[in-house]
Amino acid sequence: MNLKQILLTFLENNLFLKNGTCPICGKVLFVTDRFLCRQCEDELPIINNPTCEKCGRPIFRQDRQLCTPCAKHNLPFAGGYAHLRYEAIGKNLVHAIKFKDRPHLGIWVGTQMGQVIAKKSWVKEIDLIIPVPLHPNRLEERGYNQSEKIAQGIMEAITQAGVNKKALTLGSQYLIRSRDTPHQIGQGREERLRNLTGAFTVKQIEAIQNKTVLLVDDVLTTGATLAETGATLLEAGVAQVCIATVCAVAE
């Protein structure tokens, strides 16, 4: 290695992040900038208006506790948290975690979420954190399950906050996607649900009996995916299901 290469390697290892650039705007990132540049981080559309008690989706009427999908379809969630509105930088962030090979960005956003979840009343009840699984075909394509990375970050932050006295564990192995489903973009709720019925299977039923599970997914749109995974877990003997998503579409 000549001197120039040694110097470049040193700079790459000590000055710049592994992924090199901000996934939103493309600006070069130094190690101190973490995973998004300061400006993009400041502009994240964090949800700060009233939210649905069950799923965490933003609602715009003060006189209600539930969003329309939760009220109408009686979705099976005991509590929920959504971090960002599914728009602008929120949308770009999820896209980068899913499609731009940025697993560490998923862990980072998970820790941001976990710090807020640590203040929720239901955090004390969680025994297991389970990411919505990908079908093995998709997992091979992507190299990682983005929801598992997010779940990992959430668990780290909750553990660090010391608010959950249980032996909180990541239970990715307990739920699998046994059937590959077509991309659901553009489909209505009924069609999504039809495609998803029976798509998930619980493994090691005895390990989840009477547990409270925090289900983690990247985006909450109609709620069909989380409703189906939640129902699968409840049928298998889980006591209650809470949910956490990076982005939620407002009702």
Residue number with CB closer to Zn ion (172 or 225):
225
Provide, rounded to whole angstroms, the least separation between the CB of residue 209 and Zn ion. 27
Q: Rule CB under 5 A: choose which of 47, 54, 114, 213 binds Zn ion.
A: 54
The residue whose two tokens read 């940025």 is: 102
> Among 8-16, 38-46, 100-108, 234-242, which window interacts with Zn ion (CB under 5 A)?
38-46
Provide, rounded to whole angstroms, the least separation between the CB of residue 223 and Zn ion. 7
Q: Rule CB under 5 A: choose which of 29, 55, 117, 214 binds Zn ion.
A: 55
Q: Are 171 and 207 contacting, i.e. CB atoms less than 8 angstroms apart? A: yes
Residue number with CB closer to Zn ion (35 or 200):
35
Q: Is 52 in the site for Zn ion (CB under 5 A)?
A: yes
Residue number with CB closer to Zn ion (147 or 245):
245
Q: Is 241 in the site for Zn ion (CB under 5 A)?
A: no
Radius of gyration of the chain (CA): 19
Torsion angle of the four alpha carbons 191, 136, 128, 194, in this order, in degrees rounded to the nearest 10? 10
User: What number of other Cβ atoms are within 10 A of residue 151's Cβ?
Assistant: 29
Provide, rounded to whole angstroms, the least separation between the CB of residue 81 and Zn ion. 11
Q: Is 215 in the site for Zn ion (CB under 5 A)?
A: no
Q: Are 240 and 210 contacting, i.e. CB atoms less than 8 angstroms apart? A: no
Nearest to 216 by CA among 155, 132, 114, 149: 132
The tokens for 138 are: 């998709």
Q: What is the Cα–Cα distance from 135 to 133, expressed in whole angstroms?
A: 7
The tokens for 240 are: 């209650």
> Among 44-52, 147-155, 163-171, 197-205, which window interacts with Zn ion (CB under 5 A)?
44-52
Size of the site for Zn ion (CB under 5 A): 12
Dihedral of alpha carbons 165, 166, 172, 177, sign = negative
Q: Site mask, Zn ion, residues 63-102, x = CB under 5 A?
A: ----x--x--------------------------------
Residue number with CB closer to Zn ion (40 or 219):
40
- Per DSSP, helices labelled H in 162-197 are 189-196
The footprint of Zn ion (CB under 5 A) covers: 22, 24-25, 27, 37, 40, 52, 54-55, 57, 67, 70
